[in-house]
Amino acid sequence: MVSKVRLFKKPFPQTSYRSPSGPEVVCSQSLPSRDREGAAQGVSNLEIAAQLGTRAARVSKWRTRFAGQRLAGLADEARPGKPRRYDADTEKRILQKLDNTPPFGHATWTAPRLAAALGDVSDQQVWRVLRRRAISLCRRRSWRLSSDPEFSRKAAHIVGL
């Protein structure tokens, strides 16, 4: 069943982009703006597709969505793909862990050591967060912790000199 589409006089923004790996892609809101008169006059999907340089199936999809949902139907739907594994909370946890002292016997944090301390974060994700924040673990200044159990007594003796 073909439903008649009533389009508005106000034009939508004309947007399109060229994908690095493929032909020009017509964005969702450019279909009604580029040929709204043709669609309102009953021009076929094939003719509109030829004018826009896209497939008739794409024209049909947008016209059907617009007829059923009006402007809300022109918004892009969620893209398929694997959901994100790490979110902003994970980044906060990584940065907070950097403020803590490293495990006993280690003077500084490393990405694998941070990942192991957090438990559910990969070392590659730790590296991604550090690169994004321009944090260099080897340039972080911190006090070297001694593993010598007598260190406190020896340091007090040297400072007392």
Letter for the amino acid at 139? R
Q: Determine how many CB atoms are found less than 10 A away from the CB of residue 47.
A: 14
d(CA 55, CA 60): 9
Using CA of residue 127, residue 132, residue 135, residue 138, what is the dihedral sign? positive
pLDDT per position as a tens digit, 87-109: 999 999 999 998 888 888 888 88
d(CA 70, CA 49): 20
pLDDT per position as a tens digit, 36-87: 556 667 788 888 888 888 888 888 888 888 888 887 877 777 778 888 889 9
Helices 56-69 and 30-40, axial angle in degrees (round to 10): 90
Residues in the chain: 161
119 phi and psi, to 5 degrees? 90, -50
- Looking at residue 36, its pLDDT comes to 53
Measure Cα distances from 85 to 42, 89, 105, 124 in Å.
47, 11, 31, 12
Helices 88-99 and 123-132, axial angle in degrees (round to 10): 90
d(CA 21, CA 33): 26
User: The pTM is what?
Assistant: 0.44
Contacts of 151 (CB under 8 A, 6+ apart): none
